[in-house]
Amino acid sequence: MKTAGPLLQGRNLLVKRGGIPVLDISDFTIMKGEVLSLIGPNGSGKSTLLLTLSSLLKLYRGKLIFNGSEIDSRRSELDYRRQIAVVFQDPLLFDTTVLENVASGLKIRGMEKKDRTRIAEECLERLGIAHLAKRSACKVSGGEAQRTSIARAFATSPTILFLDEPFSALDPPTREGIISDLSRLLRETETTAIMATHDQMEALRLSDRIAVIQQGKIAQMGSAEEVMNHPVNEFVAAFVGMDTLLTGSVLESQNGRIMIAVGNQKIEAVGNFPVGEQVLCCIRPENVTLSTDSPEEQSSARNNFSGRITRIAPHGLFYRVDLDCGFDLISYITRTSLDSLEFQEGQTVKASFKATAVHVIRKSA
């Protein structure tokens, strides 16, 4: 991530849609060269924030500061819009050739035909669609149309690229190819980008930082590692896949190690919380290991429990195994592991996880 200073800042932003406040953000900053993803549930305000930052939605209150200057007049807004590009889920292509679509932004900016054709051809090449240059944009596939849309955005060398759910309508292999090319292009051109997405994997692949949006506010903004492994509250923890969330009370606290009472069980974790503090233990399912063997003999993890399997269900490429260990614990295992361990619902197994795998949040947070 480049840290060449703030590029776009939002202060005290309030946006209403249909007369109702849907966005309320006191402070937002993206640095030059940074790639930021906005994630959050449906209706949380990701698109609204993206449209607001790209000045396509009016502010009810607050201000946007671009490169140190406030966008506070029609002139500064137009100047800002000339420096940004927006890619939507629906590519919205003109009924002309792919090449002319990619060159269209440069034409609007008054660039001569020879120059804009050269730049558009370069962009088509970089997006792997040079062979489509003369094809009608109405006769390309969804993936090719989105590549055209991204090439059109890059052709104008935007200072900030905004992407609103750019891959949602694409099948997984097509999406994978475009994400890979976009990621490379963003790094090569050092373009600052903000992307709204439903897909946390997309966010992890492309971003320097991730902002989690909750009911029109930024619940947390940080590196992928911070957000995924150190969520600030229960909402973020649940949203980023900390499937096990356990309320407990700190029993012992010494030298950065804590023992937490959860029901009749004790969980060891890392942290500095006073004895008696009510906390939430968050555990990612992929950090819970299951076995049929005695964990005392086999596992170096500090937390070892016997648990009865209450449910086994497919979960993407994995199987989700729900356990009753005196508290509810969730683990993901592969099909191969499930087959070789021959787990069945109702069976008692051993579950292990490290003290460092338990993220602890103050309950009131």
Ligand X SMILES: Nc1ncnc2c1ncn2[C@@H]1O[C@H](COP(=O)(O)OP(=O)(O)OP(=O)(O)O)[C@@H](O)[C@H]1O
Q: In 3D, which of 280, 193, 195 has the Cα closest to residue 245? A: 280
CB of 71 to ligand X, least distance (A): 20
Q: 38 vs 124, which CB is nearer to ligand X?
A: 38
Site string for ligand X, 22-51 (x = CB under 6 A): x-----------------x-xxxxxxx---
Binding range to ligand X, per CB under 6 A, among 15-23, 91-99, 284-292, 344-352: 15-23
Q: 44 vs 244, which CB is nearer to ligand X?
A: 44
Q: 18 vs 173, which CB is nearer to ligand X?
A: 18
Say what angle helices 142-155 and 98-108 make with each other, to 10 degrees.
Answer: 30
Binding range to ligand X, per CB under 6 A, among 17-25, 91-99, 103-111, 154-162: 17-25
**Residue 246 makes contact with ligand X by CB under 6 A:** no
* Buried/exposed 102-138: b ≥16 CB within 10 Å, e otherwise: bbbbbeeeebeeeebbebbbebbebbebeebbeeebe
- Hey, which residues between 198 and 227 contact ligand X (CB under 6 A)? 198
Query: Positive or negative, the Cα torsion across 340, 344, 350, 352?
Result: positive
CB of 62 to ligand X, least distance (A): 16
CB of 198 to ligand X, least distance (A): 6
Q: 17 vs 217, which CB is nearer to ligand X?
A: 17
**Residue 16 makes contact with ligand X by CB under 6 A:** no
* Size of the residue set binding ligand X (CB under 6 A): 13
CB of 305 to ligand X, least distance (A): 37
How far does Cα 15 stand from its chain's mean position? Answer: 22
Q: Phi/psi of residue 316, each to 5°?
A: 60, -130
Site string for ligand X, 95-134 (x = CB under 6 A): ----------------------------------------
Residues 6+ apart with CB under 8 A from 172: none
Q: In 3D, which of 97, 91, 157 has the Cα closest to residue 126? A: 157
Q: 48 vs 191, which CB is nearer to ligand X?
A: 48
CB of 214 to ligand X, least distance (A): 10
CB of 275 to ligand X, least distance (A): 40
Encoded tokens for 8? 């776009």
Separation between Cα atoms, residue 199 and residue 220, nearest integer Å = 17
- Element (DSSP H or E) covering residue 362: strand 358-362
Query: Positive or negative, the Cα torsion across 30, 36, 41, 42?
Result: positive
Q: 23 vs 111, which CB is nearer to ligand X?
A: 23
Contact 262, 250 (CB under 8 A): no
**Residue 18 makes contact with ligand X by CB under 6 A:** yes
Encoded tokens for 64? 């946007």
Q: Out of 11, 17, 205, 362, which residue is the one contacting ligand X (CB under 6 A)? A: 17
Q: 213 vs 333, which CB is nearer to ligand X?
A: 213
- Element (DSSP H or E) covering residue 31: strand 20-31
Q: In 3D, which of 159, 195, 160, 157 has the Cα closest to residue 178? A: 195
Q: In 3D, which of 361, 351, 357, 359 has the Cα closest to residue 265? A: 351
What SS3 class is residue 115? helix
- Hey, which residues between 183 and 202 contact ligand X (CB under 6 A)? 196, 198
CB of 42 to ligand X, least distance (A): 4
Q: 210 vs 262, which CB is nearer to ligand X?
A: 210
Q: 163 vs 246, which CB is nearer to ligand X?
A: 163
Q: 51 vs 186, which CB is nearer to ligand X?
A: 51
CB of 82 to ligand X, least distance (A): 25
Q: Which residues bind ligand X (CB under 6 A)?
A: 17-18, 22, 40, 42-48, 196, 198
